[in-house]
Structure 1
Amino acid sequence: MRIGELSRRTGVPARMLRYYEEQDLLHPERAANGYRLYDAPAVYRVQQIRGLLDSGLTTEIIRRILPYLDQPDEIHPHPDCLTAEVAALLREEAERIQRRIDCLSRNRDAIHAYLAAVQRAGAVR
């Protein structure tokens, strides 16, 4: 299938599919005219990539673990892909995500405190 069909099947814009290729996450064949050609498993691969990106992983980490994702409906890396280097990347990523969670929690708490103060002052109608 060509890139437009893969885009329709996955809901991922063609521009993002080209980006996944640039990031070495997708590997389409090329037709004689230069068009990208994807096989049927590419639909599952794109869904896996989207799921991993949505969970907050970087394309660098995804590139490392993607070869070990062997079930199209699951995103559970095979234990063999957890090298010391990948484990360090995942720990750093978990710490980055935790910092974001902490920042978002502080912002949420500040907003709630502001709303409570304004409501107590009777300014909200």
Structure 2
Amino acid sequence: MRIGELAERTGTTVRMLRYYDQQGLLTPQRTESRYRVYDESDVERVRSVRCLIGAGLNVRLARLVLAHAFDQDVELPEDEAGCVPLLRLLDEELTSVDARIEQLTRTKDHLSRLVVDVTRIMREKVGPELAADCRPQEVGKAG
């Protein structure tokens, strides 16, 4: 498939796919006229790239994680050949992800309690039937 189709199937832009290619996150085949050509496995790879970057990993770490996840040999730059800087970076990133998860969990707990409290107040003020009509359908169960 061509770059436009991959962009459409993955919900990203052609420009972003070119950037991923430049950064070594994607390695498309090339036609004789130098057009990028992608296969089905690239759809999942782009989704993985977007997930990793969306989770806060920088491009360098995302490239290493992807190489490992897709069973490719991980090639370290010479300055990281001893692995100590890489291990430190990965450990710091893991600590950062854990902190974000804890913060999101606290936020979710606060929101869940708020939904319960507002639902209770609405029931007291307007009655259970009207309170149910006021609650957005997308709101998850409190708990």
Q: TM-score band, normalised by the shorter chain?
A: 0.5 to 0.7
Deviation of 1:69 (Å): 1.1
Corresponding position: 1:48 with 2:48: yes
Q: TM-score, normalised by structure 2?
A: 0.55
What stretches of structure 1 move > 4 A for 4+ residues in a row? 94-98
- Whole-Å separation in 2 of the counterparts to 1:85 and 1:69: 20
Q: Do the aligned partners of 1:7 and 1:14 also contact (CA within 8 Å) in 2? A: yes
Map of 1:91 onto structure 2: 91
- Whole-Å separation in 2 of the counterparts to 1:68 and 1:17: 20
Structure 1: runs of 5+ lacking an equivalent: 72-82, 103-125
- Whole-Å separation in 1 of the counterparts to 2:53 and 2:92: 16
Deviation of 1:91 (Å): 2.8
Deviation of 1:12 (Å): 0.8
Structure 2: runs of 5+ lacking an equivalent: 72-82, 104-143
- Whole-Å separation in 2 of the counterparts to 1:5 and 1:27: 16
Alignment size in residue pairs: 90
Map of 1:26 onto structure 2: 26
Greater Rg, structure 1 or structure 2? Answer: 2
Deviation track 1:18-52 (CA, whole Å, cap 9, x = no partner) reads: 00011101000111111100011000000000000
- Whole-Å separation in 2 of the counterparts to 1:68 and 1:5: 26
Map of 1:12 onto structure 2: 12
Q: Larger deviation: 30-39 or 88-97? A: 88-97
Q: Do the aligned partners of 1:64 and 1:86 also contact (CA within 8 Å) in 2? A: no
Q: Secondary structure, in 3 states, of the residue corresponding to 1:12?
A: coil
